[in-house]
């Protein structure tokens, strides 16, 4: 298990160095020159990092859950299905209206995905606020007993 810790530390260092290199390259090339190529590379790198994080969480959750408690894998899969259903529902209700103040509009798919991400961010933020408020209320009620 000790070797895995070193492996993950070095993997983290490599990903951090690549991230900094991409960012520095973007500043050197210029974000507005070359048709915004640096911005595209930064977006693709961010997508790759998010995908890597999601894959790591799911795989590690599956492996550890299966080793410790096989029934927990079912709970993880139910959670993943619930999250996918929420994302799909938010995608379906996202309007994808044209962006204000832009001369050249992105495609309808891009606008809809942008609206979906914004709505998911609002939803997650609202849930976080509710969790904080209800957590404090429940904590206060429990401490009085």
Q: What is the pLDDT of residue 64?
A: 79
Q: What is the pLDDT of residue 1?
A: 52
Total-model pTM: 0.60
Q: What is the pLDDT of residue 2?
A: 63
Q: What is the pLDDT of residue 27?
A: 84
User: Residue 125 corresponds to which tokens in the numbers above?
Assistant: 């933020």
CA dihedral 129, 134, 137, 142 (to 10 degrees): -140
Mean pLDDT by 10 residues, the chain (145 residues): 75 90 85 75 87 85 81 83 95 89 84 92 96 95 82
| 21/15 Cα distance (integer angstroms) | 10
Structural contact between residues 109 and 95, judged by C-beta atoms closer than 8 angstroms: no
Q: What is the pLDDT of residue 61?
A: 75
User: Residue 141 corresponds to which tokens in the numbers above?
Assistant: 């009620």
The total of other beta-carbon atoms located within 10 Å of residue 100's CB is 5
Transcribe 104-125 into DSSP letters.
SPPPHHHHHHHHHHHHHHHHHH
CA nearest to 76, candidates 65, 88, 67: 65
């Amino acid at each position: 298990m000790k070797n895995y810790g070193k492996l993950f530390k070095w993997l983290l260092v490599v990903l951090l160095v690549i991230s900094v290199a991409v960012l520095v390259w973007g500043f050197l090339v210029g974000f507005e020159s070359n048709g915004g190529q640096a911005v595209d590379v930064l977006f693709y790198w961010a997508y790759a990092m998010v995908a890597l994080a999601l894959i790591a969480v799911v795989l590690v959750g599956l492996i550890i859950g299966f080793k410790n408690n096989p029934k927990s894998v079912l709970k993880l899969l139910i959670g993943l299905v619930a999250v996918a259903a929420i994302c799909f529902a938010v995608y379906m209700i996202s309007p994808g209206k044209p962006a204000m103040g832009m001369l050249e509009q992105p495609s309808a798919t891009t606008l809809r995905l942008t609206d979906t991400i914004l709505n998911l961010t609002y939803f997650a933020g609202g849930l976080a606020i509710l969790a904080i408020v209800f957590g404090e209320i429940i904590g206060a009620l429990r401490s009085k007993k």
